[in-house]
Structures are given as C-alpha cells and as structure tokens.
Amino acid sequence: MKVLMINGSRREKGCTYTALSLVADALNQEGIETEFLFIGKDAVNGNIDEIVKTAAEKLKACDGMVVGSPVYYAGPSGEVRVFMDRLFSTSSGVLRLKPAAAVTSARRAGTTAAIDAINKYFAFAEMPIVSSRYWNEVHGATPEDVLSDKEGVQIMQVLGRNMAWLLKSIEAGKNAGIGTPGPVEKVFTNFIKK
C-alpha cells in the first residue's frame, strides 16, 4: 500500500515538508510506502494542468493521500488552493473513498481554518478523513522549530499510525468480502425556482 504526500509549500524542504516527513516515517514503520510530490511554485506559474495530471496519475496507484500546506493569511497557501481546485474538478473519481489527511504548518495562528478548508475537498469526494490526537498542526518558521515542537511531532506520528491502521482495515475488509460502495448517479439541485 502507498500514500502520496503532497507538499503545497513554496519551500521544498521547509516546515511543511518536515511535518509530512514525520507522517511518512510513521507510515513507513507500519509497512506503508510513501511518495512525495512537491507542487511548489509551479502551481501558480502556469503549469497547474501538468502538475494536476502528474498527481492524478500517481494517485491512481496510491491508496491514500496527505496534503501539507503552510498557513498563509490564516488559510491554505494559494498553491494548495489552485492545486486542489483543479485536482478535485478533474479527478475526484480517482480519489473517491481513499483515506486523506491535511497537515498544516504555521508560525502561530490559522492552522485549524486551513485544515477545515482542505478537509472540505476530501469530504466532497467521499474520502474518509484521518485524524490524530489533536488537529494536524505543527508550529515554526524553520524545520528545526518544527522538530522542537514536541506536541506537533507526536501529532504527526499518531496521524501516520492512524492512517496505516485505516488503510490496513480497508484492505482486510476487502479481503473478507466487504465490497466497495459504488458511486451514485448524482442529483443536482439549486435554489432557483422556475
């Protein structure tokens, strides 16, 4: 089993990467493979379609995903927003029923608002949202800060462990004959009266 770790920071090896690495280490310890995808500045530099295509291809071969974002102005980064808007408009069928989690890094505030925003994409695509022993956040301006945030480190480790447990449980369910619920034909309504 494999989980795609998406780094939505403009810094390839910054705080967000450090948080994602802690989750990945915990997944690896439970025998789950991980792969990193750095969406970086390309998400807003005209290459969004290419990055989303690459991500969707990789996600076909993955059983779950973790999306990491730095907090910018009390929300996810613009890079994560653009990426998620495009990924979920084009590829929600690939994502459906795959466990997912959002992790955020902030110097001080805005983490839970950023997590809420990212979780809304997961819920739209029927993805089980994985949680930890607190909201999935670390704090700092450098990777060293993040590693000295002992509570944040533990939250990332527990998140990885919980995701591994859920992935293994889904696999065990499949092996025991519990079928995956198929997609429904969607009913769309709005509030405009004719």
Ligand X SMILES: Cc1cc2nc3c(=O)[nH]c(=O)nc-3n(C[C@H](O)[C@H](O)[C@H](O)COP(=O)(O)O)c2cc1C
The neighbouring-strand residues paired with 67 are 6, 102
Q: How many residues bind ligand X (CB under 6 A)?
A: 18
* Residue (of 181, 3, 33) closest to 96 by Cα position: 181
SS3 (DSSP) at 171: helix
CB 1 within 8 A of CB 32: yes
Verify binding: residue 73, ligand X, rule CB under 6 A.
Answer: yes
Q: Is 106 in the site for ligand X (CB under 6 A)?
A: yes
When asked if residue 74 is in the footprint of ligand X (CB under 6 A), the reply is yes
Q: How far is the CB of 149 from ligand X (least distance, A)?
A: 10
Q: Which of residues 118-177 bind ligand X (CB under 6 A)?
A: 140-141
Under 8 Å between Cβ of 149 and 138: yes
Return the residue of 4, 6, 9, 52 that touches ligand X, per CB under 6 A.
9
**Residue 16 lies near ligand X (rule: CB under 6 A):** yes
Q: What are phi and psi of 2, to 5 degrees?
A: -140, 145
- Residues at the contact surface with ligand X, assessed by CB under 6 A: 9, 11, 14-16, 70-74, 105-110, 140-141
